[in-house]
Amino acid sequence: MPRTERLYKIIELLRSHQVVSFATLLAKVETSRSTLKRDLNYLCDRLHNPIVYCRNLGGYQLAVPDPSDQHPHELPGLWFSPTEIHALLTMQQLVAGLDAGGVLATHIAPLMERLNALLGPEGNLEATELRQRVRIIRLAQRSVPPRHFEQVATALAQRKRLHIAYTARGNGHTTERDISPQRLVHYRDNWYLDAWCHQRQGLRNFALDAITRLQPLNESAHEVSPAQLSTTFGPGYGIFSGGAVRWARLRFSIERARWVAQEQWHPEQSGKHESDGSYLLRLPYTDHRELIMDILKHGTHCEVLGPPSLRRVVGEEVKKLAEKYF
């Protein structure tokens, strides 16, 4: 009988009978004495089931749980191999890399504790070694107050409105408005909120770190269909949205072609290698601000072929940049 089946069988027998002798357990699970002892210890020590041996009654029974005990006594609904547990613990490192002020890690910590318990001391050493060899490098991450993140996530789940004070980075002005959260977005190491703005009567995108004050409201959120969200935020390049969709045409040098050809700038992009080894990339955008930043980071290795408006604005930016150095 597989180990998982044995463990469930033992708990089932203990729940259906007041006392179960060792001999009865041995016969029902069809295993050796030493294996059964290990299973009982595992259920008690690792999974925190209150199994006790009653000498007077001559068998094992489930004790009444201690109300102060913080450990649940149910068998988990999912069972993992050591390899799968290692993978989950590694994913925890990735989640920590995305975390906003430690909020996610706080809620995931109990699961990690149980996974560590399932591995045991020897397995824990392996898991620790594995986590130490996973490195998350965060670039330009802006901090979000944990309380804000929790309140936004709660309002999002409960479909409630929020009243926020929001400071726009472009002009530094702070405005107050009621919003209906639609979805959280993690983009380039920072958190954003797609929401319906009741002041502007339209969809807007808010950087969570730019929310200076937040108050949950008891009013139901205005609902926006997934199709409308995709139509508003999906077509353009990057986090910015709104306006007509235009198509950028970019040529990358032979050196950068090896990199850019493997990158996804937009789900609807298309690209091809030229005979000279350069790479042509075509992608949609609605707001040029973020696209310009990604173009300029390639310097002379990227040329804007069109549209003329994008080529002009990039040229003007390059000219202003040159004036600072020459």
Residue ranges making up the domain that contains 89: 82-132
Give every strand in the sheet of 279-285, ordered side by side. 270-273, 279-285, 246-252, 302-306
Q: Is residue 203 part of a domain?
A: yes
Quick check: is 256 in a domain? yes
Residues 276 and 307 occupy one common structural domain? yes
Give the span between the Cα atoms of 306 and 318, in whole angstroms.
16
158 and 198 fall within a common domain: yes
Q: Which two tokens stand for residue 75?
A: 């068998």
pTM > 0.75: yes or no: no
* pLDDT for res 11: 84
Find the CATH number of the domain harbouring 36.
Answer: 1.10.10.10
Q: Classify residue 181: in a domain, yes or no.
A: yes
Beta bridge partners of 181: 195
138 within a domain of the structure (yes/no):
no
CATH code, domain with 204: 2.30.30
Q: What is the pLDDT along the chain (326 residues), one digit of tens a residue?
A: 777 778 888 888 888 888 889 999 888 888 898 998 988 988 888 777 888 888 888 889 888 766 555 555 555 545 555 566 656 666 666 666 665 555 566 666 666 666 666 555 655 566 666 666 666 667 777 777 777 888 898 899 899 999 999 998 778 899 999 999 999 888 887 889 999 999 999 999 999 989 999 999 999 999 999 888 888 887 777 777 667 889 999 999 999 999 999 999 998 999 999 999 999 999 999 889 899 999 999 999 999 999 999 999 999 999 999 999 98
Sorted by sequence, the CB contacts under 8 Å of residue 9 that are 6+ apart come out as 1, 28, 29
Number of domains in the chain: 4
Query: 19 and 96 share a domain?
Result: no
With respect to residue 236, please indicate whether it lies within any of the assigned structural domains. Answer: no
Q: Do 19 and 59 touch, CB atoms closer than 8 A?
A: yes
CB-based contact 148:211 (threshold 8 Å): yes
Distance CA 17, CA 60 (A): 10
Residues 214, 282, single domain; the answer is no
Q: Are residues 307 and 257 part of one domain?
A: yes
Same domain for 223 and 277, yes or no, is no
What per-residue confidence (pLDDT) applies to 169?
79
Question: Are 27 and 88 in a shared domain?
Answer: no
From the list 143, 220, 213, the residue with the least C-alpha distance to 177 is 213
Residue 140 lies in a domain: no
Domain assignment present for residue 239? The answer is no
Instruction: Please state, in angstroms and as integers, the Cα–Cα distance from residue 66 to each residue in 70, 72, 287, following that order.
Output: 9, 10, 60
Half-sphere exposure of 149 (CA within 13 A, CB side): 21
Residue 68 lies in a domain: no
Query: Are residues 298 and 253 part of one domain?
Result: yes
CB atoms within 10 A of CB 199: 11
Cα–chain center distance at 170:
28
